[in-house]
Amino acid sequence: MKEKIKEFSKRYLIGFILGVITVFSISVIAATYFPSGDVTYDNTESGLSSTNVQGAIDELYGVCTSKPPGEQIIEDNGLEKDPYECRYFFTGANPNNYVTFNGETAGWRIISVGCDGTIKIVRAISIANRAWDSSQRSNWTRPASLNTYLNGTYLNRLSSEAQGQIVASDYSIGAVTDSNNDLADQVNDENSKTWNGKIALPTVSEYLRTNSNSNCKTFSNFNNNYSTCRNTTWMFNSSYWWTLSPASGYSSDAFYVYNSGDVYYTYADNSNLAVRPIVTLSSEVQITGGDGSQSKPYILS
């Protein structure tokens, strides 16, 4: 396996299900609003009991604070507002972000919830070891052979219910460099090119943005301190797995997460790397049970 490496060297989701939300001793003292794509919640009327995923965020972030609505971060929930996009990421070593999807109990985890109410989930473990592209080209829109497999064979194997919950989404496929030590620049690089489809892979920055350690959110800092940084992101799972990000300057290479947690790039035709699909669920999807823990994952319908 060719490696071109530069080894630069919070108790529930929101507790937004089926009843009362308790976040420390925080009380709702007035009605505030956090607008979203499909709902606008007055949390004094809702009673903090939404089953709509976006509504849950509205309820949590609608608490009156000295900050504008949506800016309060309740770190114990592991849900952080992203400074680069209108998304809320689950961060930390093991937040309660497990979901049952496609009949797979706790088989998937929520990466982020968008301001439009859509939910991005990733498979907790790999579905297979496959090449990113069998012809050694890191061009997802070619389409890459993994793109064809995920959006053809694999998609067709999902249950009709699961397929109905997925919506086509714009995924960031811009090339990035491992020498980038500015996450904002990296996100911009990734977003410089997009592909619209139903199933993709997590980008490198999505992997970095799930880290609760602010010092581990850039390439070089993570790679230089991977033995520490891997302990503060739930996406690390001790395996080699592909990301969606191609390597800048190398038309044959794509990035992957090493089994020690750091990020490398290698030939796209490397067939020994794991595949962790990512899908975007419709804002109409609701939570009907569970608490997000691995033993009692969220039930989506």
Can you say whether the dihedral through the CA atoms of 220, 221, 222, 226 is positive or negative?
positive
CA 127 vs CA 104, 149, 222, 226, 301: distances in Å:
12, 12, 26, 25, 23
Residue 1 in this model has a pLDDT that exceeds 70: no
**What's the rounded mean pLDDT across residues 75-81?**
68
**What's the rounded mean pLDDT across residues 242-254?**
96
**Closest Cα to residue 33, out of 63, 74, 75?**
63
> pLDDT (tens digit, 9 = 90+) per residue, 273-292?
999 999 999 999 988 888 89
Residue 11 in this model has a pLDDT that exceeds 80: no
Residue 12 in this model has a pLDDT that exceeds 50: no
Question: Which pLDDT value is given to residue 282?
Answer: 95
Residue 7 in this model has a pLDDT that exceeds 90: no
Where are the domains positioned within the chain?
125-280
Residue 80, strand partner residues: 89
> pLDDT (tens digit, 9 = 90+) per residue, 118-161?
999 999 999 999 999 999 999 999 999 999 999 999 999 999 99
**Closest Cα to residue 124, out of 108, 140, 104, 145?**
108
**What's the rounded mean pLDDT across residues 97-110?**
96
pLDDT: which is higher, 166 or 30: 166
- In one letter, which amino acid is 168? A
Q: What average pLDDT does the structure give for the chain?
A: 81
Residue 204 in this model has a pLDDT that exceeds 90: yes
Question: Which pLDDT value is given to residue 21?
Answer: 30
Residue 289, strand partner residues: 299
Question: Which pLDDT value is given to residue 179?
Answer: 84
**What's the rounded mean pLDDT across residues 113-119?**
89
Residue 263 in this model has a pLDDT that exceeds 90: yes
**What's the rounded mean pLDDT across residues 52-62?**
54
Name the pTM for this structure.
Answer: 0.77
Residue 55 in this model has a pLDDT that exceeds 50: yes
Question: Which pLDDT value is given to residue 209?
Answer: 96
Tokens of 16: 């937004």
Instruction: Classify the phi-psi angles of 231: left when phi > 0, otherwise alpha if psi is within -120 to 50, otherwise beta.
Output: alpha
Question: Which pLDDT value is given to residue 52?
Answer: 57
β pairing state of 253-257 and 241-246: antiparallel
β pairing state of 119-123 and 278-281: antiparallel
Q: What's the pLDDT band for 14 if we cut at 50, 70, 90?
A: very low
User: Vertex 120, ends 117 and 122: CA angle to 5°?
Assistant: 160
Residue 47 in this model has a pLDDT that exceeds 70: no
Phi, psi of 173, deg, nearest 5: -125, 15
Question: Which pLDDT value is given to residue 68?
Answer: 34
